[in-house]
Amino acid sequence: MKTVVFIETNFSGLDAIRYCTEQGYRAVLVTDSLERFRKWFPASCMSKLDLADTIIQVGNSNDFDEVRQVLEDELGTVDALLTFAEIRTHVTARLCAALGLPGANPDAIAIAQDKHRFRQVLLEKGADDVHCRKIDRIDRLQELKAELAFPCFLKPLQGHSSIGATVCADASQVERVVASLRGITEDWISAAFVAEDYLQGDLVSVELLTTGPGQHQVVGVADRDVIKDSIEIGSSFPVIDARRDAAIRKACMALDAIGYDFGPSHVEIIVTASGPHLVEVNTRVGGSGHSVMLDLATSRSIVGDCVELCLGNLVACGELYRPTQGAAWKCFVSEATGIIRQMPPVEAIRDHAGVKEVWLHHEAGDQINSLSSNYSWIVQVMCTGKDRQEAKRNAARAIDFVAAHTVIA
């Protein structure tokens, strides 16, 4: 039996664990916090963790030496090692290299996760021309504001889930922005920030699976619905328009520039009037149900392909991904704060056209605080349609129904 080890996981990675059990592989999950999963995942999905044959708890799953020792002591033979969690992609790549397993170039991931270094490499390699300024701590924004060009986009040097990402329109907003960002304590969010050129346009993501240096299988392009500068509340797939090919070329240029040579990537791009510009490269499959959308549209498991690639079983001859229908997800969020007093039954949401999945990120009785990140999602639906536009309409109707039947006070 093949042993597949996951260092932590995201929402999408839960389906990779399920894939392993379906294929007869031994799935092992290494984690330092089951409580983190309860915060990250809808309660209805937590049962998928039970599909792991073994869960190994460690003190710090980002500690290379500790995790390597645990793997050697408790497992012996490991056939594949991977992660779907952004917070552990770098240590996973280092472990793969040390254990002689297929994996990504750790240096490429280190570049992708350092937002300032990422921009410098893109400039040096001619892959993009967006500039940014590193700010060691957000309190320094006040003293540096005379040196910045406004509007600018601020985000943590290292981060995830849109936490701490915001637009600063002009110097008069600096004090407010500093106050809002100063108190962030979320795991794996750096104290340092970057201030980037502000890009006006549509946010899309290019989904890819890299099977070797310069060999990028294109899954497709997804659009994104964004509110409050950076909070993602919806996506639909596949985008097929005049801008698609340029976005794909830009994404592949970025991967080659940083030296990313193995595994999935979720490359975010803003398509401006002058063309596409890179936002960031995530060296993993898109999380929060994004992979389910890709699977529904292509009838192929992207997370399964990641497992098989790491096992050496994936034969990447020709074009692997061919969408046959549209798929879309959308979330209900609320500007209101307070207790959820009423929500519609899940069965009533499922009754809407095209709905394939309903995920409750919060339930009746939960406290809803400020709308500040992707953790603010309350209900998420996943829908299909004959094409992307129909799937998107189906998702919007289902969420409109949720909004009309939810009371927060």
The rounded distance, in Å, linking the Cα atoms of 305 and 121 is 29
48 neighbors 15 (Cβ within 8 angstroms): yes
Residue whose token pair is 């975010």: 268
Structure confidence at residue 176 (pLDDT): 92
DSSP count for the chain of H helices, then E strands? 13, 20
Instruction: Please tell me the distance from the alpha carbon of residue 292 to that of residue 296, in angstroms, as a whole number.
Output: 6
Q: State residue 383's pLDDT score.
A: 98
* pLDDT value at residue 145: 87
Rounded-to-integer distance, Cα 144 and Cα 172, Å: 13
CA distance 161 to 179: 20
Residues in the chain: 409
- Give one DSSP letter per residue of 294-340, joined into a string: HHHHHTS-HHHHHHHHHHT-----S------SEEEEEEE--S--EEE
| Model pLDDT, residue 76 | 87
- Nearest alpha-carbon partner for 325 in 354, 304, 349, 353: 354
Cβ atoms of 105 and 93 within 8 Å: the answer is yes
User: How far apart are alpha carbons 169 and 283 in whole angstroms?
Assistant: 30
Q: Looking at residue 372, what is its pLDDT?
A: 83
CA gap 142, 249 in Å, rounded: 38
- What is the DSSP annotation of 49-94? GGG-SEEEE-S-TT-HHHHHHHHHHHTS--SEEE---GGGHHHHHH
pLDDT digits (tens, 9 = 90+) for 352-379: 999 999 999 999 999 999 888 888 999 9
CB 390, CB 318: distance < 8 Å? no
3-state DSSP assignment of residue 10: coil
The Cα–Cα gap between 115 and 156 comes to 8
> Which residue positions in the chain have pLDDT lower than 70?
none
Condensed to tens digits (0 to 9), the pLDDT of residues 321-331 reads 999 999 999 99
User: What pLDDT shows up at residue 246?
Assistant: 97
Instruction: Identify the sign of the CA torsion 136, 137, 140, 146.
Output: positive
Question: Strands of 407-408's sheet, edge to edge?
Answer: 367-368, 338-342, 407-408
Around 83, how many Cα atoms within 13 Å sit in the side-chain half-sphere?
23
DSSP reduced 3-state for 210? strand
What contacts 405, CB < 8 A, 6 or more positions away?
A: 342, 343, 344, 348
Q: What single letter denotes the amino acid at residue 79?
A: D
